[in-house]
Amino acid sequence: MSVISLGSLARRAAAAPEQEPLPDSYFEASPAELAERIGQAKETLGSKLVVLGHHYQRDDIIRWADFIGDSFKLARYGAGRRDADFIVFCGVHFMAESADILAAEHQSVILPNLTAGCSMADMANIHQVEEAWEHLTRASNRRIVPVTYMNSAANLKAFVGEHGGAVCTSSNARTILDWAFTQGEQVLFFPDQHLGRNTGLRMGIPLSEMAVWDPWALGGGEDPDNYRRSRILLWKGHCSVHARFTVGQIEEARRTHPGVRIVVHPECENAVVEAADDYGSTEKIVAVVNAARPGTTFGIGTEVNLVNRLAHEHPDKTIFCLDPVVCPCSTMYRIHPAYLLWVLDNLLDGRVKNRIIVPERDKQWARAALDRMLALG
């Protein structure tokens, strides 16, 4: 049974960003015209502008990126470009928030389309986390350490920072969980249950010592004793893209391509990770492909724009997406060249549109959580 208060729904609705409608002329422009105007705007803005492009962006956005990478790597790069007054983040909302947390006071972080969110990040909001924390800490007599995945809102990173926890990425989740268990006996891990479960299993923690907290179910949905005895408390969240990959797809890839090397993202279900030859973050997937010998065949379980880009960059290798149905990140795909041009045109006219500003208190505590992560290497 789901229990959702009207007040909670109202707060969530109020927090949803609204994108200003673009003039029709931006959507009527041809791809060639958009490209020409974006190029001119970038040239005019010069070093005052840095454009960041996440791996999952479409190619007609990536072509304009001054730096390409995963979310936190991009945020750190943007903040490191102190000569840039404007950081245009071609990613999703939580990524732009991370960039603002790290940015200097004179830097404005801009998200070309405010509707570019993250379905996983949206599966945990601050009110749900606060309610879960109150319930779990009241029911347990052990110290609980909160850990949030980078793919979460700034106020959740702030919550973790204020309560003695840390942020993690898909690359360092094990390092952060190892640290968390030196700080307490239980870890509340959100919002992606699969990254938490896969990491815990690799640490030797059995499934019998993990419980799932469902924010939409009364009391989290499990027997209270499960929460009290578990070492890892997993949030019931997932990535809509990585949840599409299955063991059946891996088996079909092995039948069709003998000798294929299967590499998947740790946001996939555990059965998929176990059936693969290797798994890791987007940066690791790129590194594995780059290091492979010519002639290697890869079946990859991650967002299709990255897979297709890798195939194009490595014509000496066979690279394909495990999901035969095109599986782009639909929210990331909302960053269209028309929106990029629109924010650049406004910068040329002296207007900063779609600026992402994290409240100062959230910024302070989120930075504390990020600093704990960085201190662990």
Q: Are residues 109 and 166 located together in one domain of the fold?
A: no
**Residue span of the structural domain in which 258 resides:** 242-321
Per-residue pLDDT at 327:
60
In percent, the amount of the chain with pLDDT more than 90 equals 80
Q: Which residue has the higher pLDDT, 319 or 81?
A: 319
The reply to whether 14 falls in a domain is no
56 and 104 co-located in one domain: yes
Residues 25 and 106 reside in one and the same domain: yes
222 shares its domain with 247: no
- Are 222 and 284 within one domain? no
Does 276 lie in the same domain as 174? no
Residue 9 located in a structural domain: no
Q: What is the pLDDT of residues 244-279, one digit of tens each?
A: 999 999 999 999 999 999 999 999 999 999 999 999
The answer to whether residue 76 is domain-embedded is yes
Residue that finishes a domain, picked among 212, 239, 266? 239
Q: How many domains does the chain have?
A: 3
List all residues 6 or more positions away from 353 whose beta carbon is below 8 Å from its beta carbon: 20, 110, 342, 343, 346
> Between residues 292 and 7, which one has the greater pLDDT?
292
Tell me the DSSP string of 228-260. Answer: HH-SEEEES---TTGGG--HHHHHHHHHHSTT-
Residues 112 and 210 in one domain: no
* 77 touches 99 (CB < 8 A): no
Residue 295 DSSP one-character state: T
pLDDT band at 16 (very low <50, low <70, confident <90, very high): low
Instruction: Tell me if 376 is assigned to some domain.
Output: no
Between CA 368 and CA 102 the distance in angstroms is 11
Claim to verify: residue 66 and residue 162 sit in the same structural domain: no
Longest dimension (CA), the chain: 63
pLDDT given for residue 9 in this prediction: 36
Under the banding of pLDDT at 50, 70 and 90, the label for residue 79 is: confident
With 80 as the cut, is the pLDDT of residue 198 above it? yes
Q: Do the Cβ atoms of 166 and 180 come closer than 8 Å?
A: yes
- Give Cα separations from 4 to 9, 12, 160, 214, 261 (angstroms): 7, 11, 23, 12, 45
Distance CA 209, CA 186 (A): 10
Which of 177, 204, 239 is the last residue in one of the domains?
Answer: 239
Determine the straight-line distance between the first and last CA of the chain, rounded to whole angstroms. 42
Q: What pLDDT is recorded for position 314?
A: 97
Share of the chain above pLDDT 70, in %: 94
Q: What is the pLDDT of residues 311-332, one digit of tens each?
A: 999 999 999 999 987 666 767 6
Residues 148 and 90 in one domain: no
Answer whether residue 4 is part of any domain.
no
Q: Which of 81-85, 115-119, 162-166 has the highest average model confidence (pLDDT)?
A: 162-166
Q: Are 229 and 209 in contact (CB under 8 A)?
A: yes
d(Cα 81, Cα 77) in Å, to the nearest integer? 7
What's the confidence (pLDDT) of residue 119?
86
More confident of the two residues 241 and 189: 189
CA distance 245 to 88: 31
Residue 3 reports pLDDT greater than 80: no
- Residue 69 pLDDT: 85
**Same domain, yes or no, for 250 and 140?**
no
Flag whether 231 is in a domain.
yes
SS (H, E, C) 334-364: HCCHHHHHHHHHHHHCCCCCCECCCCHHHHH
pLDDT tens column, 123-134: 999 999 999 999
Question: Residue 18's CB: how many other CB atoms inside 10 A?
Answer: 7
- Mark residue 215 as left, alpha or beta (left: phi above 0; alpha: psi -120 to 50; beta: remaining): alpha
Q: Token digits for 194?
A: 């699969």
In a domain, 308, yes or no: yes
Q: Is residue 129 classed as helix, strand or coil in its secondary structure? A: helix
Cβ 154 vs Cβ 98: under 8 Å: yes
**Of 239, 255, 283, which residue is a domain's last?**
239
For residue 219, give the CATH number of its domain.
3.40.50.10800
The residue-averaged pLDDT of 222-240 equals 95
Under a CB-based contact definition with an 8 Å cutoff, are residues 74 and 325 in contact? no
Identify whether residues 228 and 125 lie together within a single domain.
yes
pLDDT at position 11: 37
Residues 133 and 229 in one domain: yes
Instruction: List the one residue out of 196, 172, 182 whose CA is nearest residue 373.
Output: 172
Position 355 scores a pLDDT of: 97
Per-residue tokens: 144: 């609980």
- Residues comprising the chain, all counted: 377
- Residue 372 within any structural domain of the chain: no
pLDDT at 189 over 60: yes
pLDDT in tens, 288-297: 999 999 999 9
pLDDT of residue 326: 62
